[in-house]
Amino acid sequence: MSGITWHYVLKFIITGDAAVGKSSLLVRLTDQRFLTNPDPTLGVEFGSKLIEIPEEGKIVKLQCWDTAGTESFRSITRSYYRGAAGCLLVYDVTSRASFTNARSWLADVREHADPHLTCILVGNKVDLCEAEDGTSNGRREVSTAEGELWAKEDDLLFVEASAKSGVNVEIAFEQASRDILDKIKRGV
């Protein structure tokens, strides 16, 4: 879609524990590729992509910021959150700890970001949970139902995804963008 103008620019932040796949989701979104061994010290910090929301007839420019290594500091500056319309709150479905810790990442977001910010909970790495015949291989530590339940309780959108296979990555951003456009229409 290069050369096309856009109707909205939406800033997204991507947050969650180290190694849940935040940089990989961003690379998948913007470059349609997956790196098996990304250098953690060279985490992608920023990526931009145009997406279309056909039912609204709108083109949205996503500007996505990854926390890229700041996880260890836990206190992310307000400037990172400033102006963000959307947040991907990421955990790894094969790591119970990352799911538990996502609650404190959400608390951080709710404390520092715009109260109307749209947050989508993303259970990443679903590709690791399936055996070759499509059955479960026992590696999953967080069920889909648990993710759904928390999302419902805390007013989050929810999706399970894989930066490796690409499943649901663009859809996660689209879903969140739809919700943001809807808020804009309603004047929220």
Residues engaged in binding ligand GDP (CB under 6 A): 18-24, 35-38, 40, 43, 124-125, 127-128, 162-164
Minimum CB distance to ligand GDP, residue 73 (Å):
14
Of 114, 149, 1, 150, the closest CA to residue 61 belongs to 1
Nearest-5° angle of CA 78, CA 47, CA 112?
15
Q: Which residue is nearest to ligand GDP (CB)?
A: 21
Strand order from edge to edge, sheet including 8-16: 46-53, 58-66, 8-16, 84-92, 118-124, 157-160
Q: Of 38 and 144, which has the nearer Cβ to ligand GDP?
A: 38
Minimum CB distance to ligand GDP, residue 43 (Å):
5
Minimum CB distance to ligand GDP, residue 123 (Å):
10
The CA–CA distances, whole Å, from 86 to 58, 143, 168 equal 17, 24, 16
Chain-centre distance for alpha carbon 69: 16
Q: Of 5 and 36, which has the nearer Cβ to ligand GDP?
A: 36
Q: Of 17 and 174, which has the nearer Cβ to ligand GDP?
A: 17
* Kind of pairing between the strands at 46-53 and 58-66: antiparallel
Minimum CB distance to ligand GDP, residue 90 (Å):
7
Minimum CB distance to ligand GDP, residue 180 (Å):
23
Chain-centre distance for alpha carbon 33: 16
Q: Of 117 and 122, which has the nearer Cβ to ligand GDP?
A: 122
Q: Of 50 and 69, which has the nearer Cβ to ligand GDP?
A: 69
Q: Of 60 and 95, which has the nearer Cβ to ligand GDP?
A: 95
Minimum CB distance to ligand GDP, residue 95 (Å):
10
- The answer to whether 95 touches 140, Cβ cutoff 8 Å, is no
